[in-house]
Amino acid sequence: MRVPDSLAASHRRYFGEAGRDWITALPTLAEDLLGRWHLRLDGTPRNGAVALVLPVLREDGTPAVLKLQPVDEETGGEPAALRAWAGRAAVLLLEADAGTGAMLLERLDATRSLDAVDDDLAALRILSEILARLVAVPAPSGLRSLGDVAAAVLHRAAPARAKLADPSERRLLGACADALREVVDEPGDRLLHWDLHYENVLASPPSSGRDPWLAIDPKPLAGDPGFDLFPALWNRWDAVQKSGDIPRSVRRRFDLMTDVVGLDRQRAARWTLGRVLQTVSWSIEAGATRLPPIPSAIAKVLLNRW
């Protein structure tokens, strides 16, 4: 098996020597799991920045995918989350190997994500209905805690803020930190996806009898559902810009999501501002001296509302 060049490059860039070692061992790992789980390859491999996904057939001919990724803070909880959801609104976990992080998953339609739904609000309603079902499940023990994540975000906020050149941007980041401090002591206990956007919702095969759309690729943690809104608020930002009224479009998205999921809007806004703080802190730590425009726009809308 040949490792895709883009996957190898990504691991070298983000994980250094550990990434190179994982890529070197990947063909052997794949062959071992194909044999152990009695699988045969059935199509072209796909990959993102971290994982390799191999279409396979099980011994009885059932289509599935073999997902291979290193175990780290973000990926380590994925099997536990998928077991807890048990196929409800999410891809079904068929097998998992705790030692390597490998998973055998039901095969969805990788060519058709929720991004294929042209009507932006219709797509957002589908995603919100999925999110409501996901966060209805209590988080299993052992997952990352949003309380710990939020405390780390606040710890990094002051150094990040000091690197901003524009005083108004420093004030904006300070307001996001203040909002997060108001909720950090009540982090919640729901099972969060953390990365729910249109491309992480795939169509199921029509003959499968499953829900038409299912979430994939969670980076799970235990916490408040308000922390899970941000990726979808950012999603398809060109539609927000084309509306001619960015604040109105952001409010409409936020209101739709909080209505469908059943969230207190003020509390959800504070957790969303915490997510903005996390995102822009990463950007600043990577060398930026200005705030990214999309998170900034979302933050301004939510701060001006309350």
- Which residues carry out catalysis? 195
The owner of tokens 């807890």 is 84
Rounded CA Rg of the chain:
20
* Nearest by Cα to 173 from 181, 164, 182: 164
Task: Kindly give the residue spans of alpha helices, DSSP state H, lying in 60-213.
Answer: 78-85, 120-135, 146-162, 167-181
Q: How far apart are CA 128 and CA 256, in angstroms?
A: 8
* Nearest by Cα to 161 from 264, 277, 258, 76: 277
Q: Are strands 221-223 and 144-145 parallel, antiparallel or unpaired?
A: parallel
Q: How far apart are CA 171 and CA 46, in angstroms?
A: 43
Q: How far apart are CA 38 and CA 60, in angstroms?
A: 9
Q: How far apart are CA 91 and CA 96, in angstroms?
A: 13
Partners of residue 65 on adjacent β-strands? 55, 105
Within its chain, how far is the Cα of 218 from the centroid? 5
